[in-house]
A and B are shown apart, each in its own frame.
Chain A
């Protein structure tokens, strides 16, 4: 199995390295499309029928027998991976064009090889039954994404981000290995299906927390999110889209698998509280940090963190509901979590594609360089607006459908009188997150696309090629469809939810889908109302005089584009409230209140750094460096020393075996 996989992969690599530059992207697109179709067939079957299709079964080298199988949960994640991967690879066909000639072809080969490897490994991760094949896929995913981030490696910050990412992922990997070894120790094999037996025997919570840390590293749970705002801006946009929209969800997938195996009521309760607390802190931290960022990609990265927080809030409530023996709350919240996972992959990839369009035109993603871009890139702006509205959970788009279910789970928990205070905490956090996200994305869209250009280079911006816009239409279509017809979207996830909450399918059919049909009708009513009002207005205005002029300056006659609100000033109010969470890096001096007319042009630059992020990265990079230095002393380069080390090793083994330790 592994051999065949590696062989096929080597063939693909050889092919990619052999063909000329402009063929590399299309070939990867074809490979990705084939992979997606092959994966989508059993996925759709699993979701439609709720059954499991076993693809292959093999003997792993370490953890015993394993299988590759598609059950409904795998199916859902396979579909998420397939849709976003196809969109991302199509997007890259257009996006990478402006790198042709600027970079050696070998870099493109490496990039696309890694891309195909990332897609394949993500599919492997979500279909593996656990143990060795899971870890194999997981590690391949990490390495592939590391190579993908490295595409622009001549920029020093990219190299640093990629290394941070690699280190953090491997720390997470160690936890996962420990977790699987823990299962193996109890059951003799390390599949997820052994988890219930393992939980029943001993120390559920420690095993759960070990897995939570391992998966949380990928998902970006506070305080392990540090790599997110570094790696996403460093990677090319289609890679950020794939990583942020899909790859971090493999962490969510893992947590669902691990948490879903808990059956004992008290443990479910504790696990639920842990998940809920992690979700609340992650979500709020991500939202507040997102609002403070002045770089589009960093903002989006923090927003991914905030969305993971929302998903975890929903998972926590689902676990709490299951622990309190309330299948309604458990099913609705779990459906909400899964639907939000699906939705987020759509709008986040669309947002990253949009940012990629901006970057390819302006070569920057700093918000305050833009302004008035909507007039020059109308299609990009419209699609970006769609994704913005969806991520703010505004009706009638898909983000609302997902958050509606999560709220409904929380409110049902409150109204049924189970875990009232925990659910109320979730509601408060979700409401606050929702409000702050609206602020953050109003800032992002408003500063980038609206108003007047803040920099002369905006005047030369043009709309990007049709291929990129077409690939953006894939997630856009999903956003609109899942938003207008949420009753069908929820049926898609209900089979996956039923794996952990058996009542889900019935409840969704009997209860949730009819409610969502009403939501859908309301959405149509809203659209009709707005369309009607707009038409009436336009018709009425035909009989009235319409004129154009400059923006009203409140009597001031010499307005300047620099007087516009910038990203920094837009979020100033929130930042002053949340200043304790940031450590600001300030360059230059603020204009003093006394100086109405400052004597000279003065630069003032402030960057908001995540307090946790700095603390963390400084702390462990420094520590690793020190440890590395110590170990490097052993590398003397003298052969006699090395022989001595080997001898010491043998002596050590001997002594240990004497005392029956190994």
Chain B
């Protein structure tokens, strides 16, 4: 039991570390480059850890605490997520709500820290992040509600542990839910087509532009927090897919890494970033998609022959 929980947490950390590596390698290969080593992002992290920091005179204590809140909240959110049949550290009735709001805390910390610098660019990023956060929240909650409706539970561990003999309806809904969560991962991780993390123009940034004034350890914390957040969403998507295929940890872990890693890399290599004004449409579409999946789930549960 304890070992399972420990393994769960370690695997989540592994997923968090592996996903950026997979994305970077694959993207480089698809562009025909040799690419940086798989663990380049960890070396960058070590570099950041060794650096000093520059703080703007405008900022207050809030600016210095915010990275810790961001990383702390992302880390706690990660502890809710089971890796297939393993047990997460924290699990109780309604933990899906706790998960969503802990991540909202992380977002609020960064948004306020960005406002703290008094920079027009960072204000812009904060404004966008707050708006996109507000728009993606319904999609996330309806997604969770779909799972809760179909499985009859309100905690991740119990939802994903629901496994009858092969059930076409459950398979369908779970796969649709996995797709939805994957799309949400794109938004929450600040990836294409919502945002291009490689952009060099501040005016077009969202997430990155909020952190312009961070350096050294603060920047490292924000990076780490971002990885953990991505890993949490990737694992939810993978769990949903694994429930109806092979519900074992040794299957779900690589699935989470590959599903997110490959899809992000492919999308980023083949698509252009949305025009910013199109982003809101993208998010609203996401909520509409979630509502549609919920409705499909509802109809399937009513057992109408379609």
Contacts and interface: CB of A to CB of B under 8 A. Distances in A.
A and B bound? yes
Interface of A: 371-372, 374-375, 381, 385, 389, 392-395, 400, 403-404, 407-408, 410-412, 414-417, 420-421, 423-424, 427-428, 430-432, 434-436, 438-439, 442-443, 445-447, 450-452, 511, 514-515, 518-519, 521-522, 525-526, 529-534, 537, 540-541, 544-554, 559, 561, 563-565, 569-574, 577
B7 interface: no
A357 B97 CA distance: 34
Top 3 A-B pairs ranked by shortest CB distance?
A565-B123, A435-B134, A446-B115
B112 A451 contact: no
Contacts of B298: 420-421, 424
B98 A519 contact: yes
Interface stretch (B10-18, B57-65, B179-187): B57-65
Contact of B128 (A445, A546, A552, A573): A573
Given A551-B117, A554-B212, A526 B108 contact: no
B148 A431 contact: no
B236 interface: no
Nearest to A534: B68
B94 A515 contact: yes
Given A442-B112, A451-B115, 20 more contacts: A371-B118, A395-B101, A400-B101, A403-B97, A407-B97, A408-B97, A414-B149, A416-B152, A428-B287, A431-B140, A435-B137, A445-B112, A446-B115, A451-B58, A451-B117, A451-B123, A526-B72, A531-B68, A551-B119, A570-B130
B65 A534 contact: yes
Interface in B51-74: 51-60, 62, 64-65, 67-69, 71-73
B145 A430 contact: no
Contact of A574 (B119, B131, B144): B131
A431 B130 contact: no
B96 interface: yes
A421 B218 CA distance: 44
Contacts of A563: 120
A544 B49 CA distance: 10
A476 to B, nearest CB: 17
A410 B90 CA distance: 22
B124 A412 contact: no
25 contacts: A403-B101, A408-B93, A408-B97, A420-B298, A424-B291, A431-B141, A434-B104, A434-B134, A446-B112, A446-B123, A515-B92, A522-B90, A525-B90, A526-B72, A533-B221, A537-B217, A544-B52, A544-B53, A546-B55, A548-B56, A551-B59, A551-B119, A561-B118, A564-B118, A570-B126
A522 B112 contact: no
B138 A541 contact: no
A372 B140 contact: no
Given A414-B148, A573-B131, A407 B94 contact: yes
A530 B106 CA distance: 11
A385 B62 contact: yes
A396 to B, nearest CB: 9
B154 A529 contact: no
B194 to A, nearest CB: 14
B151 interface: yes
**B: interface residue count bin:** 35 or more
Contacts of A561: 118
Given A442-B130, A570-B126, A570-B127, A415 B90 contact: no
B247 interface: no
Nearest to A423: B145
A423 B148 CA distance: 12
Given A540-B49, A545-B52, A411 B154 contact: yes
The A interface, classified by DSSP as helix, strand, loop or mixed, is helix
Contacts of B124: 565, 569
Contact of A573 (B51, B73, B127): B127
Nearest to B94: A408
B75 to A, nearest CB: 6
Contacts of B154: 408, 411-412, 415
Of A375, A408, A428, A532, most buried by chain B (CB within 10 Å of CB) is A428
A427 B141 contact: yes
Contact of B56 (A408, A442, A552): A552
A511 B93 CA distance: 9
A410 to B, nearest CB: 8
Contacts of B115: 442, 445-447, 450-451, 565
Contact of B142 (A427, A546, A559): A427
B267 interface: no
Most buried by B among A446, A515, A559: A446
B229 interface: no
B135 interface: yes
A15 B77 CA distance: 58
Nearest to B132: A573
A392 B108 contact: yes
A394 B92 CA distance: 18
A395 B54 contact: no
Contacts of B67: 533, 537
B262 interface: no
A545 B49 CA distance: 12
Nearest to B152: A415
A385 B51 CA distance: 30
A411 B152 contact: no
Contact of A389 (B108, B134, B213): B108
A537 B68 contact: yes
A599 to B, nearest CB: 23
B105 A395 contact: yes
Contacts of A554: 121, 202, 212
A565 B145 contact: no
Interface string B211-228: 011001110010000000
Contacts of A394: 101, 104-105, 108
